Structure 1
Amino acid sequence: MAEPQQVQDIPERKKENKKKEKKEPKVKQQQAPKKKIEGAALIGIDVRKEDDLGQWYQQVLTKGGMLAYYDVAGCYILKPSSFAIWETIQGWFNTRIKSIGVRNCYFPIFISQDNLQREKEHIEGFAAEVAWVTKGGKSDLEKPVAVRPTSETAMYPYFANEIRSHRDLPLKLNQWNSVVRWEFKHPMPFIRSREFLWQEGHTAHLTLEQAGEEVLQILDWYRGIYEELLAVPVVKGVKTDNEKFPGAEYTTTVEGYIPATGRGIQGGTSHCLGQHFSKMFDITVEDPTPIKEGESKKPPIHVWQNSWGLTTRSIGVMVMTHSDNKGLVIPPRVAEIQAVIVPVGVTAKTSEEDREKLYSQVQDIAATLRSANVRVETDLREGYSPGWKFNDWELKGVPLRIEFGPKDAAANKVTVSRRDQEGKPQIAIADLGKEIPALLETIQSDLFAKAKGAFDNARKVISDWNDFVPHLDNNGVCVIPHCLGGLCEDEIKDLSAKKHEETTGASQDARAPSMGAKSLCIPYEQPTEGLVEGETKCINPNCQNKAKKFVMFGRSY
Structure 2
Amino acid sequence: MSKGLPKRSEDYSLWYNELVKRADLAENSAVRGCMVIKPYGYSIWEKMQAELDRMFKMTGHTNAYFPLFIPKSFLSKEASHVEGFAKECAVVTHYRLKGDESGRGVVVDPDAKLEEELIVRPTSETVIWSTYKNWIQSYRDLPLLVNQWANVVRWEMRTRLFLRTAEFLWQEGHTAHETREEAVQETERMLGVYADFAENFMALPVIKGKKSESEKFAGAVDTYCIEAMMQDGKALQAGTSHFLGQNFAKAFDVKFATREGGLEHVWGTSWGVSTRLMGALIMAHSDDQGLVLPPKLAPIQVVIVPIFKNEEELARISIKANEIMQGLWAKGISVKYDNRDTYKPGWKFAEYELKGVPLRIGIGPRDLQNNTLELARRDTLSKESINLNEVDIVAKVEVLLEEIQQSIYQRALAFRNEKTTLVNTWEDFIQVLDEKGGFVSAHWDGTAETEERIKELTKATIRCIPMDQQQEDGLCIYSKRPSRGRVLFAKAY
Change (3 A) 1:462 1:544: closer
8 A Cα contact 2:28 2:161, kept in partner:
no
Look up the match of 2:126.
Answer: 153
1:82 equivalenced with 2:41 (yes/no): yes
Describe the superposition over 1:85-118 as per-residue Cα deviations: whole angstroms up to 9, x where unpaired.
Answer: 2222222222222223211000010001111222
- Which residue does the alignment assign to 1:6? none
- SS at structure 2 position matched to 1:49: coil
Partner of 1:246 in structure 2?
218
Task: Say which of 476, 482, 490 aligns to 1:538.
Answer: 476
CA contact (8 A) 1:45 1:325 kept: no
Residue in structure 2 matching 1:489, options 448, 451, 463: 451
> Does the Cα contact within 8 Å between 1:343 and 1:404 map onto a contact in 2?
yes
User: How far does residue 218 in structure 1 lie from its aligned partner after superposition?
Assistant: 0.5
Paired residue type of 1:433: V
- How many residue pairs align between the two structures? 476
| Unaligned residue ranges in structure 1 (runs of 5+) | 1-41, 290-297, 497-515
Within 1, Cα distance between the matches of 2:82 and 2:230?
Answer: 30
In the superposition, the TM-score normalised over structure 2's length comes to 0.94
1:547 aligns to 2:483 (yes or no) = yes
Q: Is contact 1:160-1:281 (8 Å) kept?
A: yes
Is contact 1:427–1:435 with CA below 8 Å preserved after alignment? no
Which of 253, 267, 279 is residue 282 of structure 1 equivalent to?
Answer: 253
Determine the C-alpha separation between the residues in 2 that align with 1:279 and 1:201. Answer: 19
Matched, 1:236 2:208: yes
Q: Does 2:392 match 1:431?
A: yes
CA distance in 1, matches of 2:465, 2:270: 20
In 2, the alpha carbon distance for the partners of 1:123 and 1:428 equals: 65
Q: In structure 2, what residue type is equivalent to 1:445?
A: Q
- In the superposition, the TM-score normalised over structure 1's length comes to 0.83
Contact 1:237 1:254 (8 Å CA) reproduced:
yes
Q: Secondary structure at the match of 2:483?
A: coil
Q: How far did 1:544 drift?
A: 4.7
In angstroms, what is the RMSD of aligned CA positions? 1.5
TM superposition shift of 1:231: 0.9
User: Structure 2 vs 1, CA of residues 354 and 257 (structure 1 numbering), >3 Å: closer, same or farther?
Assistant: closer
Work out whether residues 27 and 161 of structure 2, in 8 Å CA contact, stay in contact via their aligned partners in 1.
Answer: no
Q: CA deviation at 1:410?
A: 2.0
Aligned residue number for residue 99 of structure 2: none
1:129 deviation in Å?
A: 0.5
For 2:330 and 2:372, the matched residues in 1 are separated by 18
Check whether the contact 1:45–1:60 (CA below 8 A) recurs between aligned residues.
Answer: no
CA deviation profile, 1:312-347 (whole Å, cap 9, x unmatched): 100101101111111111111000000100112x22
| Distance change in 2, residues 1:225/1:446 (3 Å) | same
Paired residues for 1:388-537 under 5 Å: 388-429=347-388, 431-473=392-434, 474-496=436-458, 516-526=459-469, 531-532=472-473, 536-537=474-475
**Equivalent position SS for 2:382:** coil
Contact 2:78 2:247 in 1 (8 A): no
Question: Which letter does structure 1 place at the counterpart of 2:455?
Answer: K
Equivalent in the alignment of 2:172: 200
Higher strand content, 1 or 2: 2
* Conserved? CA contact 2:437–2:490, under 8 Å: no
Partner of 1:24: none
The partner residue of 2:187 within 190, 204, 215 is 215
1:161, 1:236 → 2: CA distance? Answer: 35
Q: Which amino acid letter does the alignment assign opposite residue 163 of structure 1?
A: I
Q: Which residue of 2 aligns with 1:334?
A: 297
2:102 is matched with: none
Which amino acid in 2 is paired with 1:180?
V
> Counterpart of 1:270?
241
Q: CA deviation at 1:120?
A: 2.2
What's the CA shift for 1:54? Answer: 2.2
Q: Quick one: distance in 1 between partners of 2:182 and 2:293?
A: 37
Report the alpha carbon displacement of residue 422 of structure 1 after superposing the two structures with TM: 2.8
Contact 1:482 1:538 in 2 (8 A): yes
Runs of 4+ in 1 over 4 A off after TM superposition: none
SS at match of 1:381: coil
In 2: Cα distance, 1:409 partner to 1:435 partner: 18
Letter matched to residue 263 of structure 1:
K
Q: Which residue of 2 aligns with 1:366?
A: 325
Q: Distance in 2 between matches of 1:52 and 1:433?
A: 40
Question: Please, which of 153, 165, 177 is the counterpart of residue 180 of structure 1?
Answer: 153
- Which of 10, 18, 23 is 1:64 aligned to? 23
1:411 CA displacement = 2.2
The answer (yes or no) to whether the contact 2:175–2:270 under 8 Å persists in 1 is yes
Matched residue, 1:500: none
